[in-house]
Amino acid sequence: MGDAQMEEGDNTREIEVAPALIAVDPAQRSVAVAVGSDLRVYDLIGDCPVSLVDDSAKPFHSDSIRAIRYDASGKLFVSAGDDKLVKIWSTDSWFCISSVCCEKRVSAVAVSNDGLFVCFADKFGVVWVVSLKGDAENQALADKKAAPMLAHYCSIITSLEFSPDGRFIVSADRDYKIRVTVVPKNPLDGAHEIQTFCLGHSEYVSCLDFIHSPDYPHGLLISGSGDSTVRLWDVTLGSLLDTCEIGSKFDRRFTFFLKAELSATDGIEEDPCHAVTDLCTCPNGTSVALAVQSLKGIMLLNCNLSAKTLSMAKVVLVEGETLIPTSLGTSLSEGLPWRVTIIS
């Protein structure tokens, strides 16, 4: 699990390239992509790239960006990563309204549904919170100070999500755990009340998202893991509602399209890994798109909110290319998932 590496501080750095990330504005005005330390935003309305403006002490990102997201209203955008900076941008002017310094590299970010708090997790498993209250948009602000809100002891947090009803914040880590914590009135004082844990994954949890619809406003939690499963949870009780085994969904028709990993030692092709690397739920409340390791395409699952089940819908392959998606985002109107790929 790499705990020993964490102790050595920044001396032992992974040589791997940070996966490319994509985020889609819920108001569909723009799409953001992060490749390494480069943040690129495309204006969908004006059909042109956006020029980001950042006149803070440390402008833009100087190292791999590990997490990007828009807030629920689409008015704010957050980017953070290995340069230990969390940058908050206004999506009207694309001006960096705040830069928060973190002691450690940042692995995940989330914005509260009301857009008042930004949470981010550092590599020691501490989730910090910074308040945006009282800030007028498009105004430069003094660099903010974050307060520790909760922690997963010495675990790398891979994903942070607020529940659709705003009651809970969910954090997932590389030690197979998902923690559901009650969002307090003042998050700056700490989120001490744990609602439940969602336990059951047998490998690192890589991604989380809520699926909800107007009929089911509280929604259900969906998690993807290195154990090749996607699981459906009730976050008030921590109960596992359904499990979708990705590995077993592949039959011989699909294995042809899977890029088999060559064994490092003897060059013999091993079974492809079916770890789930990213997922996103489509806002129509019925579909889930998955990025699966070694799958040259995306997998779609159906979620039935009333029956509380998950089932495989189909696999959408990207033919003729050797690209494997690393990050997914959805657009509201067409209900079609966007994807980003890296050259493998």
| Nearest distance, CB of residue 198 and another protein, angstroms | 9
Q: What six digits make up the tokens of 102?
A: 């973190």
Question: How many residues contact another protein, by CB under 8 A?
Answer: 31
- For another protein, which residue of 138, 202, 284, 344 counts as binding (CB under 8 A)? 202
Dist. CA 250–CA 264, nearest whole Å: 24
Q: How many CA atoms lie within 13 A of 323 on its CB side?
A: 17
> What sign has the CA pseudo-torsion 120, 110, 163, 337?
negative
Can residue 38 be called a binding residue for another protein (CB under 8 A)?
no
Locate all alpha helices (DSSP H) within 256-328, ordered by sequence: none
Can residue 7 be called a binding residue for another protein (CB under 8 A)?
yes
Question: 251: which residues sit within 8 A by CB, 6+ positions away?
Answer: none
Query: From residue 245 to residue 284, what is the string marking binding to another protein with x (rule CB under 8 A)?
Result: ----------------------------------------
| Nearest distance, CB of residue 200 and another protein, angstroms | 6
Can residue 140 be called a binding residue for another protein (CB under 8 A)?
no
Can residue 196 be called a binding residue for another protein (CB under 8 A)?
yes
Q: Do 17 and 36 contact (CB within 8 A), yes or no?
A: yes
Residue 152 to residues 26, 66, 159, 192: CA-CA distances in angstroms?
Answer: 29, 18, 12, 12
| Nearest distance, CB of residue 157 and another protein, angstroms | 12
Q: Do 220 and 234 contact (CB within 8 A), yes or no?
A: yes
Can residue 307 be called a binding residue for another protein (CB under 8 A)?
no
Q: Which one, 175 or 209, has the nearer CB to another protein? A: 175
Residues that bind another protein (CB under 8 A): 1, 3-4, 6-7, 124, 126, 148, 150-151, 153-155, 175-177, 179, 181-182, 190-194, 196-197, 199-202, 238
